[in-house]
Structure 1
Amino acid sequence: MAGSLTRSGSDEELVETHEINVTPFIDVMLVMLIVFMIAAPLATVDVPVDLPGSTAEPQSRPADPVYLTVKEDLSLALGDAAVARDALGSEVARATKGDKEARIFLRADRTVDYGALMEVMNLLRAAGYLKVALVGLEQTAGGTPAEGRAP
């Protein structure tokens, strides 16, 4: 709070001006920005899967992608949750809120054979989901996978 003395006629009076101190507010906002910058990369799917590599250009992905994972033992996971094959259509519909145009990001372990992967793609097609993106690790020019990077 700041104050000053001014002379108005013969009387002296105190004139007060009120100002809000925004410095603590700015400090809190900067701390929150740092916390969100650190926490945002941690909000990804955490199903352990050994992905094969790809040299294709990485494509942009939506803000809230739907990941379907075929694990090494051929079990399925939608996001982080395990899902049965017979309930796949209804669970994908729930995850996409019924949007049949939503892109499904399909991940499969390196040891999953082509036939098992095609079965899962056929289940998605039978449920009405035709936009399927295959996910793999990015590979460098020398053919080695870039660590921790998945499109």
Structure 2
Amino acid sequence: MKQFRKKLAFFAGAMNSRVRENLVETWSNDSEIIVHRGRMKTPYSEALLDSKYCIHAKGFEINTARIGDAIYYGCVPVILSDHYDLPYADILNWESFAVIVSSLDIPKLKQILQAIEYHHYVKLQNNVMQVKKHFQWNSFSKDFDIFHMVMYELWIRRSHLRHIY
């Protein structure tokens, strides 16, 4: 089977956290893990399409589109953070389509990703394509799209919301 994704992993983003700074410092000179500070000169989408894994390193901001971008382009997300509340965690089994790595393991990231056997990677990537519909916004809502997922999350948490007021 021909491998279309040539790079092992990719990250590009602002240096607004120690985790991101550590990631870029550790892997800035690597040929398989591609990391960029800030904006890139080439299209972001090309880098996502060219990488097997797309790294999500938590910054100082509460949210980011990086996970959704990775999923949209069929790139297996690597969640590089500790104690991160993932979207739809009550609904989706993130370990079936993403790799979750402690920020302490940044120096071992390449070793961790290379240790994932090809058939397991293919399974993760196929599952990314299956969950993709849950992260898509449609002009007219479709079953199980992002609108339905958010509504379901709110419904699950309704008992918690009642106690706030």
Answer yes or no: same fold by TM over 0.5. Answer: no
User: TM-score scaled to structure 1, two decimals?
Assistant: 0.31
Highest relative contact order (Cα 8 Å, sep 6+), 1 or 2? Answer: 1
More strand by share: 1
